[in-house]
Every structure is written in structure tokens, then in C-alpha cells.
Amino acid sequence: DFIKDKTPVTVDVVFVDPQFMYVKVVSNIKYNVNATTKLSSDIRTAVLSKISTHNTTNLEGFKKTVYYTKLTKDIDSADDSIVSNDTEIRAIKIINPAIDSDQSYEINYGFPFESETGVVLNTAEYHYGHTIQSSAFTYQGNRCILIDDTRGVLYVARLTGGIVEVKKSIGNVDYTNGIVTIQNLVVSNYEGSGIKIYARSKTKDFSSTKNVILAIKDEDVTVTVTPVKLWRILKT
């Protein structure tokens, strides 16, 4: 006879803190003033409400996908007077570096990035910040951001009067695998609760992985509304 081992089996449950990826939404709306009595502010409020509802209905969870066409259709449906929307979305990851401390990061977005490498016309042409940009922080006494050069190098760039001045290479961008590497970043301050790293996806739709919550926060939505006059001509 076989002797059965009656030793109790224990299972260790490991809880992993969820990570977050957010969506930056910039939408420029045109609406027909001849089709409504509403003000631009009313249209903007309606659009913001639609984006919020889209987030609650379709996102705010693990392994979610933001579908660009679905989002823009929801924006169009905010009011019958809307004739068009020009909307851009980017993925956001947030880092929280310790102040005045040397910090390095490997940030994996989980999808390929868009790159302009294929359309560079000559070896001297760089399109800084096309794929990767960040929110502002203080670096060596200057107000700076992070930008890429579409060639795979990440830079710290100083912001002065609306002009971006590249200061120092600080890491790398893997466009194929969607990974941003930051090396030896020392900041003395940053704006908001963290440094937001904005990334442009290779496709207009992008998804979060199984341990990442994807969501749109109100603070990351910018809506601009422009009235236009369109007339319907009746033929007799």
C-alpha cells in the first residue's frame, strides 16, 4: 500500500500593488451655432461629461483598451450641434523621484511607440519630443522637461519663454518595445504629484497589461470649443 503524505499544503498569496497608466486627451471641438442655442461653455461641459462617462464605462480597470474611434464617436455624440472633433490621445506614466536624489527608471508602457525615424530627411534632422515628452520639473536650477529625439535618445531640455533648449542626454527610448529608460536623474522639484511621462502609441488604440489599471483622469483632459456657422440651403 502507498503511504499518503498528510502534511498540510500551504499556499502563499502574494499581493501585488496595481500600477496605473493614464490617458491624455486633447480635443478641439467645432460646433454649429446655427443648430443650437447653447454656448461654447455648455458644449465643453457636455464633452467633458461624455469623456468622463466613457472612462467609467470602458476603462478604469486591468487589461483595458482605449479605442480611439469609440472615444471620438462618444465626443461627437455629446451634442447634436457638434460638427467635428480633432482629438489626440497619449499614454501617461508617472514617476515620483525623491528630491535631490539620483534616480533611475525603466518604464514599460506595454505597446510600441510611434517614431518619425522613417521620415528623417537628413542626418542633421531631429524631431525632439515627437514621441516622448514630460511634465515640468526643476533640474540644475532650470525649469525642464524630458523629450526624445526620435532616434532613441532621451534628453533633459530647458524651457525658457516657450523655447526648448536641449541640455543633456539622460536615457534611451525603445520604440519597438515601448520602454523608456531614465538614468541618474536628479530633480529639486516637480509640478504636481509626480512627473508625467507622455508617450505616443504607434497605433491610435492602446491597452494596459494585466497588472496595470488604465483610466482617464479629469486633470488630463483638455477641451477647446470653437463655434462655426453652417447654413442649410433649402431647394425649391
CA 67 to CA 82: how far, in whole Å? 20
Per-residue pLDDT, 140: 92
Does the pLDDT of residue 47 top 90, yes or no?
Answer: yes
Give mean pLDDT, residues 97-104: 94
Per-residue model confidence (pLDDT) at position 160: 84
Nearest to 133 by CA among 104, 96, 167, 92: 92
Q: CA distances (Å), 227 to each of 30, 79, 87, 89, in order?
A: 6, 13, 17, 23
Please list the alpha-helical segments (H only) found in the chain: 40-58, 68-76
**Which CA distances in Å does 234 have to 32, 73, 175?**
17, 28, 53
Query: What is the pLDDT, as a whole number, of residue 128?
Result: 82
- CA 203 – CA 210 distance, rounded (Å): 20
Q: How large is the average pLDDT for residues 95-121?
A: 85
- pLDDT of 146-171, one tens digit each? 999 888 999 999 988 777 888 899 99
Q: What is the pLDDT of residue 15?
A: 44
Q: Would the pLDDT of 62 be above 60?
A: yes
